[in-house]
Amino acid sequence: MKRNLTKSLNAWKSSANRKPLILKGARQVGKTHILKEFGGAAFSRCHYLNFEEDERLGRIFEQDLKPQRIIDELQFYLDQVIDRQQDMVIFDEIQRCPKALTSLKYFSEEMPELALCAAGSLLGVTLHMESFPVGKVQFLDMHPLSFDEFLDGVGRERLAELVRQHDLAKPIPEMAHEQLWELWKRYLVVGGLPEAVNHYRERQDNLYEAVQIVRKTQRDLLDAYLADIAKHCGKTNALHIERLWRNVPAQLAQAQNGSAGKFKLREGIPGIRGYERLAAPLDWLEGANLLIRVPIIENIGIPLSGYAKENRFKLYIFDIGLLGAMSGIAPATFLKYDFGSYQGYIAENYVAQELRAAGDKIIYCWQGRTAEVEFLLEKGGEIIPVEVKSGRVTQSKSLKVYAERFCPPKMFILSAKNINHSNNRHYLPLYMVARLED
């Protein structure tokens, strides 16, 4: 599958001050696949090492962390020559070997010519360790396929390029807009996990069969995530983490007026109250990239982080397809796009996911006494409000309240309608959210 991250990988390869690369992301988003594919295409040879599959690899790092000795031993392990100038080496599931993670510091200092990549599903949980090579590595984040990547993945390349390249000063051709809207509804069902997208692509001529196998795939993936939690967290912690994760779609389903509300800490884990006691399970889920946390603020200023409180936030699931599976929403309900108040929080979750994939690591929500703007972005010293409308009605009392109070230079309204502009208000289709910066 064509992934937008390839551009960043090429930039890393060509960097004059290249450091070892750490690719972060949830399990099953395609980290291993893209590294192998990139390594095979951009280098003379790609050497793949998985610390989860073979525990013997960890022993190589026990003696010391000298890069030359490690490479010598890896050559015997692989029975291949590793060309430090021309080859790429992948350390996969590196969180299973903390010393290998620490060794990246020494590879950066003593062997900078070697193209070394590391990946792991639970790296976000592991990176707090004291021996982590701060300042000696480069990070990239990988997410589920965004909507334009999904279009590429299911053979709609022309529409994908239209989403990426269309002049936002003009409306999208109406026929293309209709096609994109229908495909966007399918994306809500399928989501962006590569295995689910592959199954949909192979069977898309029979939509009923396609969405049935997609839902089964998503249920299997959910079981795999729960198994990860049980494997790495201990019985009690795993139980708390699992309950908190399942509670996120349950609370989203309680949304009033179609808008997701503040996450209610008292409902997060039965019998456990207070942010302090929920912080560890929540941090684990965030570190595993299974949740998107959006701080809620009441006042605004640069930087927005100065107005955030750690115990006021919304939570979203990292993949829109998994949210549908966890919520038990039938695929036909998405395709008809007629599911009442569900439309609002589904659209919000989709926008949060797309903003993250587009590079917005932290996004905020503004709430006044009687008004709410779903998302705030901080761009070039400006604070940009983004209102999410799940249908064709774009009037917004909340945005009017926000505009009167804060006088933003520009505002965005995302909806089912085509592109339109009115003074400092910019109307975009929901499927174009990744183009906000343009």
Q: What domains can be seen in the chain, in order of their start residue? A: 5-141 (3.40.50.300), 147-435 (no CATH)
Q: What is the pTM of this model?
A: 0.93
Alpha helices in 253-396 (DSSP H): 265-268, 275-287, 320-327, 331-336, 342-357
pLDDT given at position 395? 86
**pLDDT in the model for residue 53:** 93
Q: Residue 206 has what DSSP assignment?
A: S
For residue 233, the Cα-to-chain-centroid distance in whole angstroms is 22
Q: What is the pLDDT along the chain (438 residues), one digit of tens a residue?
A: 889 999 999 999 999 999 999 999 999 999 999 999 999 999 999 999 999 999 899 999 999 999 999 999 999 999 999 999 999 999 999 988 999 999 999 999 999 999 999 998 777 776 655 566 778 999 999 999 999 999 999 999 999 999 999 999 999 999 999 999 999 999 999 999 999 999 999 999 999 999 999 999 999 999 999 888 888 777 668 888 888 899 998 888 876 556 677 888 777 776 666 777 788 888 889 989 999 999 999 999 999 999 999 889 999 999 999 999 999 988 988 888 766 666 788 999 999 999 999 988 889 999 998 899 999 999 888 999 999 998 888 888 999 999 999 999 999 999 999 999 999 999 999 999 999 888
Report the distance separating Cα 38 and Cα 79, nearest Å.
22
The pLDDT value recorded for residue 158 is: 97
Say if residues 62 and 31 touch (Cβ distance below 8 Å).
Answer: no
Which helix (H) or strand (E) segment is 366 a member of?
strand 364-367
- Single-letter code of the amino acid located at 94: I
For residues 115 and 117, give the distance between their C-alpha atoms in angstroms, rounded to a whole number.
7
Residue (of 429, 419, 423, 395) closest to 411 by Cα position:
423
